[in-house]
Amino acid sequence: MSLIACRAALMGASLVALAACATTAASVEPAAAQTEPAQAPVRESTAFTLGTDQPRAPEQLAVTFDKADLSIRVLPDEKAIDAVALLDFTATAPVDRLVVELDTLLTVSEVAVDGVPVPADRWSNPEGRMTVELAEPLAIGETAQLRIAYAGQPRVAPNAPWDGGFVWSTAPSGEPWIATAVQPEGCDIFWPCIDHPLAEPGRVDLHITVPSNLSAPSNGEFLGAVDHGDGWTTWNWSAAHPNTYAIALNIGPYAEIADTYESRFGNRYPIQYWHLKSDDPAKARALFDEIAPMLDFYEATVGPYPFGDEKMGVVETPHLGMEHQTINAYGNGYKLDGRGFDWLLHHELSHEWFGNQLTNRNADDMWLHEGLGSYMQPLYDRWLNGERFMEASLLDQRRGLINKFPVVSGEEKSEDEVYQGDTGPGLDIYNKGSQIAHSLRMLIGDEAFFRSVTRLVYGTATPRPGEFRPRYGTTDEFLAIVNEESGRDLTWFFQGYLYQAALPDLRQTRTNGELALEWVTGDGGVFPMPVEVEVDGERHVVPMTGGRGRIAAPASAHVLIDPDNKVLRRLEFIEAWKAAGGGD
């Protein structure tokens, strides 16, 4: 599949970690980039490090991760970092060791607990899971600060953002242009963390030291820069409750466009775009001017921007993009596609709600990020340009469905198992997730659907700025919310769409002046999805009680099933088109 085909299939979905597109995307760079050939490290990260959201060690389950304070000097000439991490933990159960993850490509020079050095024989880091023995066990409620000094050449991303790590590039003006993109591999690629979505630290403070001719925009609130007078400057940032993989380094010869956004909820917050100084100023300004309308759409559709006490930030990167909390990576090269907005900017922004504010408890529920986030693009098409543009987006998504694995398996999964199309749903978490969301909205109506989404994202139907914090959610929770908001049991809907690889098939039989309809699902379950039928231009709703229904249809009548395409279902002509190579 070509990258263009990937984009058409996704219609605005992020391409992060999608192996189906990765092989064709390797040579694609933003127009401004002059990327140096990646140099393979002497050693590769371990298989453990390259995985993410793997089961936590018992010691990790026995603590809360209160704060990470990261001081990272980035050395462009050496393609290396020199760093110190201070990690604060509180025991929730008795624990005698602290356990974090850190890539073995990075050499640890010192380990200390509460300021006391830990002898080398009392800590180890096999395969990238570091264990530090405590001099005295922690009782419940006791705290400890783990200090780790480390340095080295971190993993070079073979094909960011799908196969991640550091991107060491060169801007058109000749300066270093550096970024991290580690969603598929996790935070341990360049800082010690608990590499699991349920182990977000309460706060991360970042002190990023770079050559003074470069800027280092990052996550959260800007606390100022300190020029040390020796050719180096430290940029200081602080972010509350960040996704661990969303912590990002972005370093380059940037110029900043900034403004203050006046929210429909009454609060005000900074919006910032950091772009290369060599960019066409008109293009950079045009992209920046898209941010405020997008924010208004998301706030009207879902709820308040989740991180208004920090900022809404975007930074240009030498890779395509990624949803880094409050500093989304943008590398689409200002490409126009006739939709009236930049699809990548819009999709990555969606993850501030679906991914950063709402985080799935396990990768098996990743469609809550990618599917609901992808549905926001057709909705935005309508918001800007009307029904025709929304339907065009939905049709492009519909043509991209794979239907090889269920969107949700009902079992614990790793991120790779979900994103890789040969082991899990892959692209279907985007496109099929969006199509399912649309069918759900058509079934229960706008009020119930959008209240359900808002409750899932914030834990309340009436979120107000400053009155909520990031939360975790599951498919089962979303079903329970939808049932409450719609006043009906829609287990059959979730079971028929999310937990089956095959789409529901609407079988049709027309005899003796009557049209008989029957739903057949992947597991043979009852699927009472009502269907609109147009007979000679007159519309009727067939209830489909028990999954079956009938309607009068004279032999001479023209019959059109589901004239507004409200219901996601098997369509044989699309299957035939795909079997003949359609979409390749």
Predicted confidence at residue 380, as pLDDT, reads 98
37-51, 53-67, 209-223, 447-461: segment of lowest average pLDDT: 37-51
- pLDDT per residue over 471-488, tens digit each? 999 999 999 999 999 999
Q: Which DSSP letter does residue 403 get?
A: -
- In eight-state DSSP terms, residue 121 is G
Q: How far does the chain reach from its first CA to its final CA, in angstroms? A: 5
> How confident is the model over 128-150, as a mean pLDDT?
98
Using DSSP's 3-state secondary structure scheme, residue 500 falls into coil
pLDDT, one tens digit per residue, over 356-366 is 999 999 999 99
Q: 269 — phi, psi (to 5°)?
A: -155, 160
Residue 547 has pLDDT above 60, yes or no: yes
Q: Quick one: pLDDT at residue 495?
A: 98
Amino acid at 131: T
Three-state DSSP string of 173-203: CCCEEEEEECCCCCHHHCCCECCCHHHCCCE
Place of tokens 């602290």: 98
Res 229 pLDDT > 80: yes
Alpha-carbon distance of 353 to 369, in angstroms, equals 8
pLDDT in tens, 309-338: 999 999 999 999 999 999 999 999 999 999
Provide the token pair at 364.
């098996």
Q: Count CB-CB contacts under 10 A for residue 341.
A: 21
With DSSP H G I counted as helix, E B as strand and the rest as coil, what are the percentages for the chain, rounded to 5?
30, 30, 40
Please state, for a pLDDT cut of 90, what percent of the chain lies above it: 91
Amino acid at 295: L
pLDDT at site 35 = 44
Structure confidence at residue 51 as a pLDDT band (50, 70, 90) = very high
Q: Tokens standing for 434? A: 């969006």
CA 330 to chain centre: 14
In whole angstroms, give the CA distance from residue 310 to residue 327. Answer: 10
> Left if phi > 0, otherwise alpha if psi is -120 to 50, otherwise beta: which for 303?
left
pLDDT of residue 21: 40
The residue among 315, 27, 33 whose CA lies nearest residue 170 is: 33
Residue 39, pLDDT > 80, answer no
Confidence check: pLDDT of 118 > 80: yes
Question: E strands, 76-126, where?
Answer: 80-91, 95-101, 107-113, 116-117, 123-124
Q: How far apart are CA 262 and CA 247, in angstroms?
A: 26
What confidence category does residue 421 fall into, taking pLDDT thresholds of 50, 70 and 90? Answer: confident
The mean pLDDT value for 205-233 works out to 98
User: Which two three-digit tokens encode residue 320?
Assistant: 């395509």
pLDDT digits (tens, 9 = 90+) for 168-201: 999 999 999 999 999 999 999 999 999 999 999 9
Point out which residues pair with 359 in neighbouring strands.
Answer: 472
Residue 208: name the closest of 182, 187, 237, 229 by CA. Answer: 237
Between CA 420 and CA 62 the distance in angstroms is: 31
Query: Which pLDDT score is estimated for 306?
Result: 98
Lowest mean pLDDT among 14-28, 187-201, 283-297, 525-539: 14-28
Evaluate whether 195 touches 188 at the Cβ level (below 8 Å): yes
Structure tokens at 344: 């990548």
Bridge partners of 85? 70, 148
Return contacts of 5-10, CB within 8 angstroms, 24+ apart. Answer: 5/583, 5/584, 6/427, 7/337, 7/343, 8/396, 8/399, 8/400, 8/583, 9/396, 9/397, 9/399, 9/400, 9/427, 9/431, 9/583, 10/374, 10/397, 10/400, 10/427, 10/430, 10/431
Distance CA(90)–CA(141), nearest Å, equals: 6
Q: Which residue has the higher pLDDT, 93 or 42?
A: 93
Which residue in 342, 323, 354 sits closest to 458, CA to CA? 354
What pLDDT is attached to residue 43? 76
Quick one: pLDDT at residue 368? 98
Pairing relation of β-strands 143-152 and 538-542? unpaired
Closest CA to 14 of 479, 371, 410, 450: 371
Q: Cα–Cα distance between 232 and 532 in angstroms, integer?
A: 66
Paired tokens of 198: 């349920």
Q: Where are the beta strands (DSSP E) in 345-445?
A: 358-360
How far is 578 from 573, CA to CA, in rounded Å?
Answer: 9
**Over 90: is that where the pLDDT of 40 sits?**
no
Banded model confidence at residue 30, pLDDT cuts 50, 70, 90: very low
Q: Provide the 3-class DSSP secondary structure of residue 367.
A: helix
Residue 265 has pLDDT above 90, yes or no: yes
> Which two structure tokens, joined as six digits, stand for 293?
């309308």
Q: Which residue from 308, 334, 310 is spatially nearest to 321, judged by alpha carbons?
A: 334
Residue 41 above 60 pLDDT? no
**Position with higher pLDDT, 32 vs 142:** 142
Would the pLDDT of 541 be above 70?
yes
Does 287 have pLDDT greater than 80?
yes
Helix (H) or strand (E) holding 483: helix 475-486
**In the structure encoding, which two tokens stand for residue 109, read together?**
């020079």
